[in-house]
Structure 1
Amino acid sequence: MIRRLTENDHGQTFSFLKEEPSFNLFIIGDIEAFGYESDFQQIWGEFDKKQNLISIMLRFHDSYLVYAQQEFNAAGYASLLPAEGTIHLSGKSEVMAQFESLEGLNLGEKKQMYFAECRICPAAGTSASKSVQIAGFEDVDRIMQLRSTIKEFAITPSRREILVQAMKSKTGRTYYIEEDGKMTACSSTAAENSFSAMVVGVCTHPEYRNRGYASETLKALLKDLMENENKIVCLFYDNPAAGSIYHRLGFKDIGKWTMFR
């Protein structure tokens, strides 16, 4: 049985999600920040005959995320997805594989990435000559402009709204380096919650690469998250070169993640 989850289900929901907390960072963070009743977020849960929770689907704006540890009713969740337009869906690769086998779903372009987590904070670096700053609301458009220079990034209409919302709810932050009055590199977080955070949007403007700027923003971010706030930090990557950098900073692969965008 699949049904909408409410505040009354919170204890059971979090017990289930915390069995794999890194993989459920997005769902945990969004529930902590926005609860179970909002116009941009909904949560469904699937229960077995003994009323044990066995899978969850989250809608956040136009994106959907599904989590399960075992066999689940993928077709049941598919019936809740938009009937028109491209479906933005993500989750552990083994979970997403069950949606790929369904007919009639207009899934977006598939992207599979490694999922890594870091539990040991790297030492602060000194390679960048520019100081790292924390972005405010006045920097949102500059962040979006920098991200738009990266061809691998999918900049959808809702991305700016999500960035602003993350700042307001304190579920996301951005650290950046500036040169010649231009934001040249940044690292951001998303879905921050009481014990973990997801690193996103690590990038450098094409004209300022190979100066260590992105690494410095990430190191500063990790220091605050891990040393000062005692959080586990996670990220996705699909580029082997980027992966080697993250591994040197202390990240370890724990699985794969699939996104349809």
Structure 2
Amino acid sequence: MIRKLAAKDHQQVMRFLADEPSINLFIIGDIEAFGYDANFQVLWGEFSDCGDLIAVLLKYHNSFIPYAKSAFDIHGFTEIIKSYTTEPLMSGKADIVEQFEKMPGIKLGRKQETFFAECRTDTHLGKPELPIKKATIYDVDLIIELRSTIDEFVVSDTARDMLVQSMESNTGRTYFLEENGSLTACASTTAENSVSAMIVGVCTSKKHRQKGLATDVLQKLIKDVLDENKILCLFYDNPAAGRIYKRLGFQDIGKWTMYR
């Protein structure tokens, strides 16, 4: 049976999601931030005859994230998605979301596959001696300025507002190094919740590369988040970046697929 989830289901839902806190980072974070009654967010659960939760589907605006630990009613979830749109934005654990590719009536966008890694220990971290700072609202423009110089980044018109919102809601933080009033390297978290956080926006200005600056910033950021008893996770598709993250203690836990 599939039905909409409500506040009365919260403890059961969180127990179900807690087995894979990194994979469920976005679902957990959106539930903690917006609950079950927001007009832009809806959650459904599939339950067994015994009342056990089998699968969860999150709708956040026009984006959908399904999650299950084993077989689930993909036809039922498909019909829910189709009732809103036939061209959904979708993301999730690869072996779950890729099942929707064969479902009739849904048109998925461009497929992007990435590795998904998490870090639970600080045993691989060094102790940076550089003056790494935690950003405040007053540093937002400098962060956007640095990100805008990075060829691999796409800085949207809403990037500044989103960064401010993440700081004000404590769902994200940024650490950085600076020189003569400009940032030389920075790294951020996003989608922070009570159990996990995602690393994003790791970058170094072009003239300060090959000095290990971003790695130093990362080590400080990772240590502080782990000290709050949160698990860190990230996406990567660049093998060279993957090797750097693994030296810092990250381990691959699966693949994440997005359709945009």
User: For the superposition of Structure 1 and Structure 2, which TM-score range results when normalised by the shorter chain?
Assistant: 0.7 to 0.9
Q: Is the 8 A contact 2:45 2:54 kept in 1?
A: yes
Give the drift of 1:215. Answer: 0.9
Q: Is the 8 A contact 2:21 2:195 kept in 1?
A: no
Structure 2: state its 5+ residue gaps: none
Give the drift of 1:11. Answer: 1.3
1:109 aligns to 2:110 (yes or no):
yes
Q: Distance in 2 between matches of 1:167 and 1:224?
A: 16
Q: Which residue of 2 aligns with 1:44?
A: 44
1:76 aligns to 2:76 (yes or no):
yes
In structure 2, do the counterparts of structure 1 residues 89 and 139 end up closer, same or farther at CA, with 3 Å as the change threshold? farther
Q: Which residue of 2 aligns with 1:124?
A: 126
Q: Distance in 2 between matches of 1:55 and 1:168?
A: 32
Residues 180-259 of structure 1 aligned to structure 2 (within 5 Å): 180-226=180-226, 228-259=227-258
Q: Distance in 2 between matches of 1:259 and 1:112?
A: 7
Aligned residue type for 1:232: I
Give the drift of 1:9. Answer: 0.6
Between 1:29-38 and 1:238-247, the stretch displaced more is 29-38
Give the drift of 1:249. Answer: 0.5
Q: Which residue of 2 aligns with 1:35?
A: 35
Give the drift of 1:61. Answer: 4.2
Q: Compute the RMSD of aligned alpha carbons.
A: 2.4
Q: Percent identity?
A: 52
Provide the aligned length of Structure 1 versus Structure 2: 257
TM-score normalised to the size of structure 2?
0.87
Q: Is the 8 A contact 2:41 2:59 kept in 1?
A: yes
Q: Distance in 1 between matches of 2:189 and 2:139?
A: 15
Q: Deviations over 1:63-104 (max 9, x none)?
A: 3222111222334333444527x6321111101111122234
